[in-house]
Structure 1
Amino acid sequence: MPVVAGAGTTGPGVEMTRLRGRWRVTRPWPPRLRPFVHSYAGYWDAAASPYRVRLVPTGRAVVVINLGEPFAQVRRVGDADQHSQVTGSLVAGLEDGPRVCDHPGGQEAIRLELTPLGAFRMFAVPMNELTNRVVELSDVLGPDAGLLVEQLAATGDWGARFDLLDFALSARLEHGPDPAPEVRHAWRLLSLAGGAIPVGRISAEVGWSQGYLIRRFTEQVGLTPKMSARVLRFHRAMRLLTREGANLTEVTEVCGFYDQAHLNREFRALAGTTPGQIAAARLAEGALPL
């Protein structure tokens, strides 16, 4: 693949694709990271045009390492405080509602999606402290975060950037806290069922009372089991609706909603939009262009 001017070089195994005016740069991440990292990709603006996106809940934590212009504003939809905030490299915990991001253009960044328990291990903080919050990367990873960002920004080769990132992630994950086996099992049950499993059944399966399960699960995942189930069910429905030929009735039934009215209410509550708008949009990693 030819090198794109201004985007740096790529290196072996690196793929670069065009995505709505931006270049998306990917490479398979090492097997040792796969239990913790859902995805990572680099982004580079082909044209420095301002844009706004709405981010919807995905059941994952997000890290954005900014190597160019930072976001101008990152806020929860409906927040009373509408003051702009300039955010550099950031960490976003699990969400139970939509968030709007404004960017002035000229983005160059690496975006990671972490499984909740991968985030718990890497951040080494109770995940409920990050729920519905966006904080600076250094607030979670400490001063080493700034050095990592500087090294990545000074490296023009995307393959070398990913090498640096893989090394830093591996070192952090190696020494992070282990989630409770019961919480891991509870999250696995929820994920496999797409959220369509009662909390009582999960607590019986892991051998904990519901109250104790809720406390430990919320600490290590960031959302309660019930809210996690709602987010996972919504995210599954969203993925199905964006497929060609998706049928709203079938999606409602497959994902375990009572009826289409229930589906509509959940989309309004969790994404601030409708199933039809989601189906018509070209979502990329939970981002709805506005």
Structure 2
Amino acid sequence: MVTLGPATTIGGMRVRVAGAAVDVAVPPAAARVPGVAMAGFRGRAEDPVHLRMIPYPARTVFVDLGDSLLVDDTDGTAKRGCVVVGMIAGSVRGRGRDVDLLQVRLSPLAAHAVLGGGPAGAVVSLEDLWGRDAERTRERLAGLRSWDDRFTVMAAALDRRLSAGKAMDPEVAHAWGRMVAARGRVRVERLAGEVGWSRKRLWSRFRAQVGLTPKRAAALVRFDRAARRLAAGHSAARVAAETGFVDQSHLCREAMAIAGTTPRSVAAAPWLAVDDVAWPA
């Protein structure tokens, strides 16, 4: 057990993010839900911290219990409270000084049941998807200080939604699983053949349930692998060669298309500073 401010949890530590000291907590194995990863963040900075999101192959729920604000620079949308962000989120940034935030990453399979469909790049209020239950859940979380208790409450809310939600087509789930296993290096035609669907049908059903086309989803999975390697300090040329890009220029184009920035900026992104702690591979 390690102390994180006034709360106690398993598997946490302090890291520096954009110059601010942030305590990161993760739930014990017993509190984890399949297809779901959770982490708690708590800290205070003298000046507001601005963090640009790096796209990740999961939909993310932010339950803000402090003063955080999420801004989508594509349309100027700013949201507080409980917010859902899609997988393609290169235009989204977070801002805040008093950080008290529960972050939940949902695999497409879990997200389909918990959140329903929707564009992979959308930034929406959780209330739009859960109704009054979103605010009730946030109020319960705000009344707790222990991250272990917060994880338990959120896990129960997610489990209820998973049980009641609509399951993804097994063919789409298979295609997604193969993409992840192959780290994005798989052809759509081959996936269609494996599930016995036409390429057109797989494309349509996958996009409806995941929020991205199969090709775009595979590109995002591959980019996530590359982003982690870049953040670990490896050169762009080496990362491109090891993660299936034609060359460094190809990696640069994909980084710009997916994250809206260069591999150099991805490598230095404060958003990735907590990944090894909060979201271990």
1:53-107 deviations in whole A, cap 9, x for unaligned?
1112211100001111130x4114xx2x34x624221011221x51232423112
Shift, 1:189, TM fit: 1.0
Shift, 1:255, TM fit: 1.7
The range that moved more, 86-95 or 178-187, is 86-95
Q: Indicate which of 90, 96, 100 corresponds to 1:108.
A: 100
| 1:93 aligns to 2:86 (yes or no) | yes
Output the CA distance in 2 between the equivalents of 1:271 and 1:87. Answer: 23
Residue 47 of structure 2 aligns to a residue whose secondary structure is coil
Residue 66 of structure 2 aligns to a residue whose secondary structure is coil
State the percentage of identical aligned residues.
Answer: 35
User: Which structure 2 residues correspond to residues 30-179 of structure 1 after superposition, within 5 A?
Assistant: 30=30, 33-34=33-34, 36-37=35-36, 39-47=37-45, 49-71=47-69, 73-76=70-73, 79=74, 81-82=75-76, 85-95=78-88, 98-123=90-115, 125-126=116-117, 129-179=118-168
Shift, 1:257, TM fit: 1.3
Output the CA distance in 2 between the equivalents of 1:8 and 1:67. Answer: 15
| 1:17 aligns to 2:17 (yes or no) | no
Structure 2 gaps of 5+ residues are: 276-281
Residues 53 and 94, structure 2, Cα contact 8 Å, conserved in 1: no
Number of equivalences: 271
Residues 91 and 260, structure 2, Cα contact 8 Å, conserved in 1: no
1:250 aligns with 238
Residues 29 and 166, structure 1, Cα contact 8 Å, conserved in 2: no
Output the CA distance in 1 between the equivalents of 2:79 and 2:269. Answer: 27
Larger strand proportion of the pair: 2
The TM-score, its normalising length taken from structure 1, stands at: 0.86
Q: Which amino acid aligns with 2:33?
A: L
Residues 57 and 270, structure 1, Cα contact 8 Å, conserved in 2: yes
1:234 aligns with 223
| RMSD, matched Cα | 2.1
2:258 aligns with 270
Shift, 1:285, TM fit: 5.9
Residues 30 and 166, structure 1, Cα contact 8 Å, conserved in 2: no
